[in-house]
Structure 1
Amino acid sequence: MNTDTLAAAQELDFSLIALFARATLTVKLVMLMLLVMSFWSWAITIRKHIAFRLARRESSVFDQAFWSGEPLDELFERIGPEATGASERIFSAGMLEWRRSHRDDGGLIAGAQARIDRSMDVAINKESERLNAGLSFLATTGSTAPFIGLFGTVWGIKHAFEEIAISQNTSLAVVAPGIAEALLATGIGLLAAIPAVVFYNKLNADAEQIIGGYEAFADEFSTILSRQLDA
């Protein structure tokens, strides 16, 4: 490498901002898209972490109230049909159907147990949708971001080779900037994809655990009502 080429290579700025500024419009759009996906993935992750923590806390508080020995009718009157927490909404759905299943003479309408179970299942499905909302974006980011970044890299390398052909100069000072700009797109793609995959698996497991707790409570509550129906 001659001194002129070495001096030109040393004068190049390889900072992230400089690489982004020198990239082609297509590669810049790819990088911006990946940065937006990464930012939105982190926003979903933080929001879900807070929501799951609140859901666990609400479920723990309600379980203490449910198993405290307080009559279920009084607990339902205190909570009301417009409950705020997920466990309370599932409980209210079962209790509301329980009361609707009573005739004016105090008897029960046939099929009350099945309707109560179905009402709580519907409430659980709604809570499941709330808990899983947004997780599909994390899965999409984790699976597509590397390929989007790879597209930016391929496009950048193509542009770099075109510049080499035009300048007819294969020195490092000409080749390195284009290759570095192209590889930055893949790096940003991986930076967006890896946390998205990790947090998707973690949050999905947490959501299944919380939903499993709701289903276990619904089964226990259904058993309690079943004893009263048999009595």
Structure 2
Amino acid sequence: MNKTVVEAPGIFHFLTQADGVGKFLFGVLCVMSVLVWGVLLQRAVKMYADKTKEKQFNEQFWNANSLEDVSKMVEAQHVQHPFANLTRTVMVAKQQFSGQKAGRLAEVGGMSEYLTREMRKALDEQSAKYESGLTLLGSIAATAPFVGLFGTVWGVYRALVNIGMSGAAGLEQVAGPVGEALIMTGVGLAVAIPAVLAYNMLNRYHRLATGRLDAFAHDLYHLALVGEVSQMSPQKRKLSEVPAAA
């Protein structure tokens, strides 16, 4: 005796029965999913590249004889990396400070204060770059479940309308809208969960990368000041070591 196997309708079968609102919400969730995976893949590739460049730059930096050699190396190789950019900022700031004949408000406080301000600006700019995409991921993670929930509510509403218009709660009246409603809930979760995981991963990378960059900035700051003091004449160096009068 042959048995007829009835295939269960797939997701696209239910979507073909959705109205304009349901299709629009499904499209919004699809766009959100593309944005999540696009940001995640882009940042993952950049994170891997930055990690490799960071290791190479640290080796070259600490094996160099002076900051001037590091600066020449950075300019010659056209290195584009947070550590290299910070080093370039410090060297440019030193040259600008030393080349000023007339005092400016920016130079008030001496070389130490000037370097601190320039490095802080560079660190803030890099921190903003590290946070790129986090706002988008957080927004999608927070809104995608509610978009799917709205689709669920709309599907149930359509099912109730069909029942009211037909006067009978037949399976053919409720199967399509209810199936659409369940699918929208699942799609909303499928978009939100990767967004949350990606947000947490990138946020952790941001904290760790910022910590490493801050530690490097601390070392670079002191190396820049030590180099400045070592280039003074013996008379100026002796005067700089005299404590200020009370």
Task: Provide the TM-score with structure 1 as the length reference.
Answer: 0.87
Q: Partners in 1 of 2:132 and 2:34 — Cα distance?
A: 17
In structure 1, the partner of 2:239 is none
Give the alignment's Cα RMSD to 1 decimal. Answer: 2.3
Asked whether the equivalents of residues 67 and 224 of structure 2 are also in contact (C-alpha less than 8 Å), the reply is no
What is the Cα deviation at residue 229 of structure 1?
A: 4.2
Between 1:21-30 and 1:173-182, the stretch displaced more is 173-182
In structure 1, the partner of 2:198 is 199
In structure 2, the partner of 1:4 is none
What is the Cα deviation at residue 171 of structure 1?
A: 2.7
Match of 1:60 among 52, 55, 63: 55
- Aligned-partner residue type, residue 121 of structure 2: V
- Aligned-partner residue type, residue 204 of structure 1: N
Instruction: Render the CA deviation track for 1:90-110: whole Å, top value 9, x for unaligned.
Output: 0010111112222589xx985
**Matched position secondary structure for 2:98:** coil
Whether 1:92 aligns to 2:88 is yes
Whether 1:214 aligns to 2:213 is yes
Q: Partners in 1 of 2:9 and 2:114 — Cα distance?
A: 67
Q: How many aligned residue pairs are there?
A: 220
Q: Partners in 2 of 1:167 and 1:109 — Cα distance?
A: 82
- Aligned-partner residue type, residue 90 of structure 1: L
Instruction: Render the CA deviation track for 1:125-172: whole Å, top value 9, x for unaligned.
Output: 222222221121111110000001111111111111000111111133
Unaligned residue ranges in structure 1 (runs of 5+): 1-9
Alpha carbons of 1:40 and 1:182: their partners in 2 closer, same or farther (altered >3 Å)? same
What is the Cα deviation at residue 31 of structure 1?
A: 0.7
**Matched position secondary structure for 1:37:** helix
Instruction: Render the CA deviation track for 1:62-117: whole Å, top value 9, x for unaligned.
Output: 11111003221122123229642221110010111112222589xx9851111112
Unaligned residue ranges in structure 2 (runs of 5+): 102-106, 231-246
Between 1:140-149 and 1:82-91, the stretch displaced more is 82-91
Instruction: Render the CA deviation track for 1:158-197: whole Å, top value 9, x for unaligned.
Output: 1110001111111334323221111111111000000100
Ranges of 4+ aligned residues in structure 1 off by more than 2 Å: 10-14, 80-83, 171-177, 225-231
Share of identical aligned residues, percent?
26
Task: Provide the TM-score with structure 2 as the length reference.
Answer: 0.82
Structure with the greater relative contact order (CA < 8 A, sep ≥ 6): 1 or 2? 1
Between 1:175-184 and 1:23-32, the stretch displaced more is 175-184
Instruction: Render the CA deviation track for 1:32-58: whole Å, top value 9, x for unaligned.
Output: 100110111001000001111111111
Asked whether the equivalents of residues 64 and 70 of structure 2 are also in contact (C-alpha less than 8 Å), the reply is no
